[in-house]
Amino acid sequence: MPEHEAIRLYTDGASRGNPGSGGAGAVLLDGSGRVIGTAKKFLGSCTNNEAEYAALILGLEEARAGGYKMIQIFLDSELLVRQIQGIYRVKNDRLKPLMRDVRQRLSEFDGYTIEHVPRSKNALADRLANEAIDDQLDSV
C-alpha cells in the first residue's frame, strides 16, 4: 500500500458487566475495503469505556507496526470520538491516562481522521472483542 494512502481502522471494546470481563477488537482495511489485519485482546476486568480506549490503542499499535502513516478511524463509541475531537472533556480519572496514550500514538501518524459509525458498521471489530472474552473464559 502506498505510504500516502490512508488505511481504515475499526475498533470496538466490550465489557460484560460494566465493569466486568473486557475485550478489545481491531480491524485494518486497505483502500479498497479488504481486511489486511485483525487483532483481539482480553483485557481482564474493566468498564466499557476503558475497553473502547484499549481497543483503539490496540488498533493504533497494529497500524504503526504495519508502517502506515495515514489512518482513518471508525468507532461506534460516540463518547470516545467526541473526546478525541475535543468536543467532550475526559472527566473520568481512569480514562485520562488512556487518552494521553491515544494522543501520543495519534501523534506518531502523519495524519488521521476519526468518525463515529453505527454499531452495524462495526460488526467485525465487535465480534473480535467478544471472541477475546470468550477465548479467555473458555480456557478457564
Domain encompassing residue 106: 7-133
CATH of the domain at 105: 3.30.420.10
Cell 475535543 appears where? 86
Q: How far apart are CA 55 and CA 133, in angstroms?
A: 13
pLDDT in tens, 98-117: 999 999 999 999 999 999 99
Q: How confident is the model at residue 138 (pLDDT cuts 50, 70, 90)?
A: confident
2 in a structural domain: no
Q: How far apart are CA 99 and CA 83, in angstroms?
A: 8
Partner residues linked to 22 by β-bridges: 15, 44
pTM, to two decimals: 0.95
46 or 18: whose pLDDT is higher? 46
67 in a structural domain: yes
Query: What is the tally of structural domains in the chain?
Result: 1
139 in a structural domain: no
Q: Helix or strand or coil: residue 130?
A: helix
